[in-house]
Amino acid sequence: MFVVFLGFLIAYAPTMAAAASDATWFCSALIIKSAKKPTPFKFQVRGSELIDFKVEENAFYKKWELRDRDETMTYRIVEDTPKSLVAVHAYPFDKESGSSAVMILIDKASNEFRQIVVSTKETDPSTNYEGTCLQK
């Protein structure tokens, strides 16, 4: 019985991996509370990574000038279940900001999306935001 189950997992694993690598999430969030329209985001699961593609000028990154318009950010997926997706990007240690990381949380059941920035130094609350996502 165990051998049959193990054989099923081995045979099914490439299909599961292919399905996961094809997952693309289109999200939006109000980066600035007074904004009239939400900022769009596109995330794609590629193996054990979540790639953040900048869809249009993002007020958060413009404010902090962290990356160029065409640059992507890679997060390491720490949880990918049928109900949730959690990914983390750790920044290199910096004297001014200390150790810091960005977390992306997607609740697959409710399609809620949240980005949270944490740091060993004080974190600006405006760098955290929430919105909604749809998987395509």
pLDDT digit string, tens, across residues 57-69: 444 444 444 444 4
Own/partner long-range contacts of 79-84 (Cβ < 8 Å, ≥24 apart): 80/20, 80/45, 81/108, 82/108, 83/107, 83/108, 83/109, 84/108
Structure confidence at residue 12 (pLDDT): 39
- Does residue 27 fall inside a structural domain? yes
Structure confidence at residue 109 (pLDDT): 94
- Does residue 113 fall inside a structural domain? yes
* Domain span at 108: 22-135
**Alpha helix (H) residue ranges in the chain:** 2-21, 59-64
Count the Cβ atoms, other than its own, within 10 Å of residue 112. Answer: 15
**Cβ-contact 104, 129 below 8 angstroms:** no
Structure confidence at residue 56 (pLDDT): 46
- Does residue 16 fall inside a structural domain? no
- Does residue 8 fall inside a structural domain? no
For residue 55, the one-letter residue type is V
What is the domain count for the chain? 1
- Does residue 45 fall inside a structural domain? yes
Give me the tens of pLDDT residue by residue for the chain, a chain 136 residues long: 434 333 333 343 443 444 445 689 999 988 877 888 888 888 999 999 999 886 544 444 444 444 444 567 889 999 999 999 999 999 887 787 788 889 999 999 999 999 998 888 876 666 788 999 999 8
